[in-house]
């Protein structure tokens, strides 16, 4: 009988990132309407004021439902 231990590959390995790892975009959390939105975090006073103004402007422009909510979320994301 011959020993096969020399012909077996090593069982240790290094995980490789996927080929397009740099192109992988972060997944938005549930409830996020626009990229980068963090619905689990409270708005600061400037963001809250921007949201109130954007909602009033959206309603005046005839927006409702999801279109209004996306418009408000986009306005809030522009405020630092």
Specify the pLDDT at position 48.
95
Quote the number of domains for the chain: 1
Whether 80 maps to a domain, the answer reads yes
Specify the pLDDT at position 72.
95
Instruction: Please compute Rg for the chain using Cα positions.
Output: 25
Whether 63 maps to a domain, the answer reads yes
Whether 15 maps to a domain, the answer reads no
Rounded to whole angstroms, the Cα distance separating 8 from 11 reads 9
Whether 10 maps to a domain, the answer reads no
* pLDDT tens-place string over residues 31-71: 888 888 888 889 999 999 999 999 999 999 999 999 999 99
pLDDT at 3 over 60: no
Whether 73 maps to a domain, the answer reads yes
CA distances from 28 to 15, 32, 36, 37, 39 (A): 25, 6, 7, 7, 10
Q: Are 46 and 80 in contact (CB under 8 A)?
A: yes
Whether 33 maps to a domain, the answer reads no
Specify the pLDDT at position 14.
74
Whether 77 maps to a domain, the answer reads yes
Whether 79 maps to a domain, the answer reads yes
Structural domain harbouring 51: 39-80
Planar angle of CA 49, 51, 54, nearest 5 degrees: 110
């Amino acid at each position: 009988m011959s020993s096969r231990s020399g012909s077996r590959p090593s069982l240790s390995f290094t995980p490789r990132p996927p080929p397009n790892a740099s192109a992988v975009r972060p997944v938005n959390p549930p409830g996020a309407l626009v990229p980068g939105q963090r619905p689990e975090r409270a708005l600061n006073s400037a963001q809250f004021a921007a949201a109130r103004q954007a909602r009033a402007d959206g309603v005046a422009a005839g927006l409702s439902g999801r279109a209004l909510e996306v418009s408000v979320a986009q306005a809030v994301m522009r405020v630092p």
